[in-house]
Amino acid sequence: EGQKVFKALVREGNSMQKRTMKATEEKVGDVAGRVNDVTSKVTQVAAGLQKQATGTWDKLEGVFETRVERALQRLNVPTSREIAALNKRIEELSKGATAQRRTARKTVTKRARSVKKTAA
């Protein structure tokens, strides 16, 4: 009879272990689902905060750029566009001056040749 009681206890223990495992797996699944939900919500909130921060920084950057631009205008500091236009104009004038020097050299050379011919 002791063996029968022992076998009954073993069966009861196995049954209890299975129920406990099943309940544990269900609870773990529930907790994992909740963790995923919370993680998703935290991610969404973080993304929203990041957008707000980025928007705020962009606005601040725009205000700063506008104020710096105004200050530079008051000090009569040329803009990058004005400097680029001046550089382009300088290049054009340099090319024109070089062309005029070449023309002047050719003219001087031709005059010198014609003077030599008439002198001879």
Structural domain boundaries in the chain: 49-77, 79-120
Our CA dihedral for 14, 16, 19, 24, rounded to 10 degrees, sits at: -100
Show Cβ contacts of residue 72 under 8 Å, excluding neighbours closer than 6 positions.
Answer: 79
Query: Which run of H or E residues covers position 116?
Result: helix 80-119
Q: What is the pTM of this model?
A: 0.41
3-state secondary structure of 77: coil
Sequence-distant (6+) residues with CB within 8 A of 79 are 72
Tell me the pLDDT band of 105, cut-offs 50, 70 and 90.
Answer: confident
Give the confidence band of 120 by pLDDT, cuts at 50, 70, 90.
low
Whole-number Cα distances in Å, 82 to 12, 13, 21, 48: 92, 90, 78, 41
Q: What is the pLDDT of residues 42-77, one digit of tens each?
A: 999 999 999 989 888 899 999 999 999 999 999 999
Please check the confidence at residue 86 and state whether its pLDDT lies above 80.
yes
